[in-house]
Amino acid sequence: MEGASSKGALNHLTFLEAQARSRKTGASQQKSGASQLKAKVEELKKQRDLLKAQIAVHQSLQKLRTSLDKNEDADVDETSENSKLLMLMVKHSQLKDVLLAHHLLGGYDVVKTNEDNSLCFSLPTAYQGTMLDTYHVEIDVKRTVRISRHNIPPFIDVESLAKETNMQENIRGFLDTLSLHLNAFSSRKHQLKLVKDLHKSVEVLESNALCSLLVLLLTIPKEKTALLCSLDYSDHTRSLPTRVSIKGEEKDLSDSPEWQKNIALLQETPVHEALTAMRETRHII
């Protein structure tokens, strides 16, 4: 009985001793913890000041950039060094954005329309220094990239071109291909018009709306016989024919040596110029 109670008392004593000991070390620990925390507070304060400074710079950059975008005079309210640096940074960011936009669009004229939901691209066409028709394509870009309207004639299939060039991911590729087709079509149409205007002695027997097929009736000066000249423009992206054949009344003259040069001429130069050259060398009237 005494042992149990003494044990209990001894135990209690050891327990109290241990407690007192731990309280002492706890106090010193607290002291070191406090200094640690103080150091951390300093560090965090420094970080906060740095971030605040960054935010201030960013805000002033934004302000300068918006005023630059609107072409207003930027109001400078900081020390001269800082302001110059800020202006440079702003102009740099603006140039980078413009370059990115240019790269995306490929240099076509674009106008935002429909409350910024679609873009309207203009595709001008030209041939030999003459400006021809301008075509427009309006593309909806808000949710999916799709064509909403255009003024391209129906024999040039715009939807299938969009599918082939993967317009969803690469608007530039689509626009480049479309521009190629349109320029080639306009130039072929223009060549046909020039042939009709300049060469009254040449009769246009057949042509089609896409101007991909042309059959002309030429006359030889000496014998006054007629020649059938057919030009096949099967590559719709080129303004020169892919195949030329000349047929006389009885035989096919494509292989005869005297006409080889003319055939080569028709394949390499535009139709109206080739006809003028042929007229000058007295091959045709």
Partner 1 sequence: MDDTARRLLQRLVRRIPSQLLKPTLEKWGRLKRTQLDSLDFSQSKYSLTEKLLSVCEENGSSIKHITELELLYVIDNPVAGKWHAYQFIDPEDDAHTVELMQFKEQFKSHLTELVQNVSIKMKKHTDEAVWIRLAWGQSFSRPNHFKPTYVVYHLQSPYVFMTSMNSKHRPLLSQALVLATRHQAVKNANLSGKLNAIRDLVMRQYEHVFPTKFPSNISENNENTKNPNIKQEQEEQSSNRLQMACEAFGGGKLPEIQSAVYNLETKFRGHAKNMEERGGPFKCVVTFSGTNILESLRSCASSGIASTPVTPVLSSIPRKGRNYFLMTDNNPGSSQTQQQQK
* Region binding partner 1 by CB under 8 A among candidate stretches 57-65, 89-97, 151-159, 165-173: 151-159
For partner 1, give the closer residue by CB, 174 or 233. Answer: 233
Q: For the sheet containing 203-207, what is the strand order?
A: 203-207, 213-219, 226-232, 243-247
Residue type, 73: D
For partner 1, give the closer residue by CB, 21 or 149. Answer: 149
- Residues within window 209-228 making contact with partner 1, judged by CB under 8 A: 209-210, 212-213
82 binds partner 1 (CB under 8 A): no
54 binds partner 1 (CB under 8 A): no
Q: Residue count at the site for partner 1 (CB under 8 A)?
A: 23
For partner 1, give the closer residue by CB, 194 or 278. Answer: 194
Q: Based on the number of CB atoms within 10 Å of its own CB, is 53 exposed (0-12), middle (13-18) or buried (19 or more)?
A: exposed
For partner 1, give the closer residue by CB, 82 or 208. Answer: 208
131 binds partner 1 (CB under 8 A): no
- CA 217 from centroid of its chain's CA atoms: 44
234 binds partner 1 (CB under 8 A): yes
Q: For the sheet containing 118-127, what is the strand order?
A: 109-113, 118-127, 130-140, 146-150
Q: Distances in Å between the alpha carbon of 212 and those of 22, 55, 59, 64, 233?
A: 99, 62, 59, 55, 5
235 binds partner 1 (CB under 8 A): no
For partner 1, give the closer residue by CB, 230 or 267. Answer: 230
Distance in Å, CB of 207 to partner 1, minimum:
6
Distance in Å, CB of 114 to partner 1, minimum:
8
154 binds partner 1 (CB under 8 A): yes
- Residues within window 104-123 making contact with partner 1, judged by CB under 8 A: 109, 111, 113-114, 120, 122
Rg (CA), the chain: 41
203 binds partner 1 (CB under 8 A): no
- Tokens standing for residue 238: 């080129």
- Tokens standing for residue 223: 């014998």
For partner 1, give the closer residue by CB, 124 or 248. Answer: 124
Q: Where are the alpha helices (DSSP H) in 72-170?
A: 80-105, 158-164
Q: Which of 228, 261, 256, 231 is nearest to 243 (CA)?
A: 231
CB-based contacts of 227, cutoff 8 Å, min separation 6: 217, 218, 219, 220, 246, 247, 248, 253, 284
Residues lying near partner 1 in the complex (CB under 8 A): 109, 111, 113-114, 120, 122, 136, 138, 149, 151-155, 206-210, 212-213, 234, 236
